[in-house]
Structure 1
Amino acid sequence: MGVMAAFDDPLPANALPDNGPLAPSGVPLRRLLLAVGEPVVEVLAAPAGLDVSIRDVVILDPEDETVPYTGDLVLLIGARGRAAARLVRAAGRRGAAAIAVKADEGGGTEPLRATALDAGVALLAVRPELRWEQLQSLCRGVVDDARLGGSSDIGEVSGDLFSLAQTIATLTGGLVSIEDSASRVLAYSGGEEADELRRRSVLGRRGPEAYLALLRDWGVFRRLRAGEEVVRVDEHPELGIRRRLAVGIHAGTQPLGAIWVQEGAAPFTPQAEEALLGAARMAALHLVRQRTEATAGLRLRQDLLAGLLEGRGEPAALADSVRVDAEHTVVVVVFTLRDDGSGPGPDRSAVELRHRRMASLIGVHAAAYRREALVTTLGSRVYVLFPSLARRTAEPSVLALTRKVVAAARALPDLTVQAAVGSMVDSLADVRASRTEADRVLDVMGRDPAMDVATISDVRSRVLVGETLERLREDPRLRDPRVARLVRHDTAHGSALVPSLIAYLEAFGDVRAAAAGLHIHPNTLRYRMRRAGAVSGLDLSDPDERLSAHLQLLLEQGR
């Protein structure tokens, strides 16, 4: 295809999208959390989600009668117990958007969480070592910045970048677009006299490939990446392209993008090139901040998911990311490395690197499957929340994806991964149940390294036995002392009554089969069973005693 073919079907000169409305005076709670950062503040409750608007930040002293206004973030100092609950209810009635309290490691914030949910107000837990005036100063700074400079959604270019584009247009006398390193249009100025290239770039959010190829051939991109040089691009009437100036945007030696200025009806101003150099340095700050906010936004989502999985988070905090209704469901999948070198062998840094590679691989596959998928790490396990799944096909499709991830990991030389799929649940409030089931399945899979992916239906009996053994392990009062007596006898006399009894029980009392497995004569096994009953006092003809003894012997073997 020729270059001109790329510009066929010209568009109306006024077919440029609007830059959108001005930002509101408040700042979303989500943006405030990104600025403050974890672990300084943790979300305990968010009944209205994280997009509630914060207009101001006030400190509320129980001795003070100051009334918080609608939309305030209220920092609640010096109140505990019933007094704090009363103030939370009162602040909620008066329209407070969120309330912050000092975190209580003893779990004292749980009653306040229930009160906040009932009052319909967000509740934040603040680390005890942070001073209230520090938090107020930090939060108020974020709110003030929002009033002055507008606000932006997480991961999107801020309104300030559009303002910068308009300022550059004023200083240069041209039509401006700001692009990232992939030639995607991030912001642009208004103005008439846009040529065909500009209209298509703005509407398509990226320059036409045919024109990008010409720029590469002309060496323009190479010069833009090389440093702070204003590059002139001549007019090409045959292509519908007017004269342009361009400058690269850099953070140190790292190229971040470029600013392009198209000449309009009037020539460029005399100071156009100088203005472009300064604008490039300003744009670099904006783009670095954009990348930081995108990373912080991802981290916030990970923290919110971790809190939800551990039962300390509020489902509403993720309601904007996860859709659950009559037609859709959610599920948790957990992954872990096997033979991860936690004992003697590879050093811990090598193990950590492998964990990061596993998490990265999982994240890529999860995002490809569902844009809204959330991934977080708890300990040595990586959890994925798959949202907005069609109920009819959810389980088979998630199983297929999970097997694909595990197969991709196992194809690598040093990543042996196992995964367990939790139950499909009907609400975000049930996500922890899906996580608990996935963990139970993965726990029993650890004894079978050949098993790569499983659900509860694959290992239900193993899970039941495993949880029963865990109960016995946690409560010694449930254990039968007669089984312990048999174990002590074996230890003291070097006999093999315990393994013989386990083989007998696992063969359902089939003496010949059990004896063959032990490589002994059936009569020898019969003698050992009589001896085991005599030493321990167990009645092996009683099915309840056989079951109880079998479970406890498995526990003694370290199952």
Structure 2
Amino acid sequence: MPDDDAGAPVTISDLVTALGSSNVQLLNPQTTGHPVVTGTEFADSSAALSIDPGMLYYVVSAESLGFSVGGGLESMLRRAAAANASAVGLKAPLDALPTLAELGERTGVPILHFAQNIPWRYLDAMISRSLGERDWQGRPLGTGSGSLHDLVNALASHFGGAAAIEDLGRAVLAYSTHPGQLIDPLRTAGILGRHASQSPHNNARYRDVLRTEGALVFPGDGQQLPRAAIAVRSGTINLGSIWVIRSDHSPLTDAQHEALDTAAASAAGLMMESMRRATESSRARLEAVRKLLASEELSASDLDELQVRSAPLQLVAFQMLSTEVPPLIMDQIRALLGRAFQAMLGPTALVTVGHRFYALSQPRDAQGLERLAQLGLEQVSSAIGQQMRAAVGSEFPAIADFAAARTQIDEILDAQLPGDVVTAQAAQPTLLLRAVARTVNATSWIRGDQVQALLDHDAAHDTDYGPNVLAWLRAHGNYAQAARDLDVHENTVRYRLRRARSQFHLDLDDPARRLAAWVQLEASL
């Protein structure tokens, strides 16, 4: 939509175009026309809706209302229609979209389906930008032209002191390099470390800035020069802050206030655009990994989005211990794991399949992914209260080997080995035996008659010859160890082994026959 006409009405179609098709989808375009959006509001199933026409309602609890025809969501859509809403925005599983489109047609309300991986507050911030909301003094928000570095250099030129833009985590996104600018050791350290210092004194200042409309002035002290600061916001959402060093802490002039207001509005536009591009890129990476998991052919653009053309590659997978986890909780877990991977490895696509999460990455060291997987489990347990286990696959040389890597990681999780995080190396003996077991069980003519007779006897007479022989084999003939593993007396193991040899004619002295019996028992028990 044009940026030079802040007063032009914004339609649903304009919003979809501005946010991008990977972030939002209009489910029922044939019934909507071009309704104008005048504002946004969060709504739930019981609250009264605004009487102002043209509102876009966010229905965060849509899934709890049910997506069926005639259900709670349809009732809410009819209330939105009666309130002359411009649209209803929600998140839903992909298999629910046809029903939602039908509900939109039945009620005449446009339904916007938002990407699951974008937090609601960021969606609201992006939509607020698109609606052309005004800043705290009533002026239109900035267009976001130029760059963050251009903004801080312009501020440094205006104030004569170093300027920096930080995100909410106090990471330095941009810093000025204006010749002759005032600068102190604290700002220099922040630039070198690309992160502002954490201290109780600074924490209080940041809180004040983010709670205040407009710019604040802070006096200098023994460690730092005076500063002016202003929050960077999109609508009501804090995105970060701008800090400018000054020679004194006198009140700001009108021109300085306006310079900071303009810079904050422009920075918000640039940060939201960066967020939108990052979200679209994340969606594209997710789609590429989804294609890999579904064994679909990848295009050249898919390979570009994966950002993993070079070898080696590695898969990490997480499995929910409970199969009764609501979709909303699954989304929260995926977001939490995604942030953990993002912090350690950079952009990483995390895809949900059933009750498993898969991440494709490039390892940095032998134990790096194992530690990261353990950290992810701990964060999910602490923040959400859900228990999981994880598997770390072997490195594989190229995307062409992904199918084998997926098979391996699933085998590790299916084996349900002890431990929170199981690596391919630790699971290798079990995976080998499982693979052999499938062949043995699928091919009757290679199974030994004596071992099969023993197993049939156990099944018919509730005896334990098979487990006893297997425990003895696993203990390499050590009766005491086999007895401990079976939690029986050592003489019991000796007796049962003698009976198995004599009654079923087992030859456990010949190495080849002993190995064959071992494999068959592993496959069967």
Higher relative contact order (CA 8 A, sep 6+): 1
User: When the two structures are superposed, what TM-score results if normalisation uses the length of structure 2?
Assistant: 0.48
